[in-house]
Chain A
Amino acid sequence: MRSHRQTQPLLAMRRGRAGRAEDRDRNSPLHSAVLELQRWAGNRAVAELMQPGSPAPATMVAQRDLDDGGQVGEAPLEPAAGEIVQPDLGEDAGGAEPVAAETNEFGEMDGSIDTGVAPHTFLNKGQVAKGKWHHAGGSGGKGNEGVGSADLVAPKYDSAPPKKPGGDATARVRKGTGTVKVKRSYNGVVPGDNGTAVWAGSGGGAVFIMWSAVERMARHEAGHIKETKKFHDAHIKPLEKRIKGTKKAPTEAAAVTALQTHVDWNTSVTNFATADTAMNTPGGTFDTTDQAKADFYHDKGPKTIGKKAYGHLIEAP
Chain B
Amino acid sequence: MGTSPLTLSLACDGPDPNGRVDVRLTVFNTGTEPVMFDRRLLFGPHPGHGDPVLLASEPTTPRASQDLILLNPLCFYGRQRQYQYSSGEMSFHGYLVTERTDGLLPAGPAEPGKLAAGAEPLVVRFGGG
Task: Choose the segment among A37-45, A81-89, A168-176, A299-307 that binds chain B (4+ C-beta atoms closer than 8 Å).
Answer: A299-307
Q: Interface size of B by Cβ–Cβ distance < 8 Å? A: 30
- A201 near B102: Cβ-Cβ < 8 Å: no
CB neighbours (8 Å) of A298 from chain B are 43, 54-57
CB neighbours (8 Å) of A314 from chain B are 54
| Nearest neighbor of B110 in chain A, beta-carbon distance | A292
Minimal beta-carbon separation of B83 from chain A (angstroms): 5
> At the interface, yes or no: A202 with Cβ under 8 Å from chain B?
yes
- B84 near A301: Cβ-Cβ < 8 Å: no
User: Cα distance A310–B110 when bound, in Å?
Assistant: 31
Task: List B residues 34-56 near A (Cβ within 8 Å).
Answer: 40, 43, 46-47, 50-56
- B58 near A301: Cβ-Cβ < 8 Å: yes
> At the interface, yes or no: B105 with Cβ under 8 Å from chain A?
yes
CB neighbours (8 Å) of B40 from chain A are 317
Q: Counting chain B CB atoms within 10 Å of each CB, which of A201, A282, A301 scores highest?
A: A201
CB neighbours (8 Å) of A201 from chain B are 47, 50, 83-85, 90
| Nearest neighbor of B20 in chain A, beta-carbon distance | A203
> At the interface, yes or no: B4 with Cβ under 8 Å from chain A?
no
> At the interface, yes or no: A204 with Cβ under 8 Å from chain B?
yes
- A200 near B56: Cβ-Cβ < 8 Å: no
User: Cα distance A135–B40 when bound, in Å?
Assistant: 24
User: Cα distance A196–B129 when bound, in Å?
Assistant: 28
Minimal beta-carbon separation of B25 from chain A (angstroms): 12
CB neighbours (8 Å) of B58 from chain A are 300-301
- B102 near A291: Cβ-Cβ < 8 Å: no
Of B20, B50, B102, the contact of A200 (CB 8 Å cutoff): B50
- B102 near A293: Cβ-Cβ < 8 Å: yes
Known: A201-B50, A282-B51. A292 touches B104 (CB 8 A): yes
- B59 near A299: Cβ-Cβ < 8 Å: no
CB neighbours (8 Å) of B105 from chain A are 288, 292
- A199 near B50: Cβ-Cβ < 8 Å: yes
CB neighbours (8 Å) of A317 from chain B are 40, 57, 60
User: Can you list 20 A-B contacts (CB < 8 A)?
Assistant: A199-B50, A199-B54, A200-B50, A200-B51, A201-B50, A204-B84, A283-B53, A291-B104, A292-B102, A293-B102, A293-B104, A299-B46, A299-B81, A300-B56, A301-B58, A303-B59, A311-B82, A313-B59, A314-B54, A317-B60
- 12 more contacts with CB within 8 A, not counting A203-B83, A293-B104, A298-B43, are A199-B51, A200-B50, A200-B51, A200-B85, A287-B53, A293-B102, A294-B101, A299-B46, A301-B58, A301-B59, A301-B79, A314-B54
| Residues of chain A at the chain B interface (Cβ within 8 Å) | 1, 135, 199-204, 282-283, 287-288, 291-294, 296-301, 303, 311, 313-315, 317
| Residues of chain B at the chain A interface (Cβ within 8 Å) | 20, 40, 43, 46-47, 50-60, 79, 81-85, 90, 100-105, 110
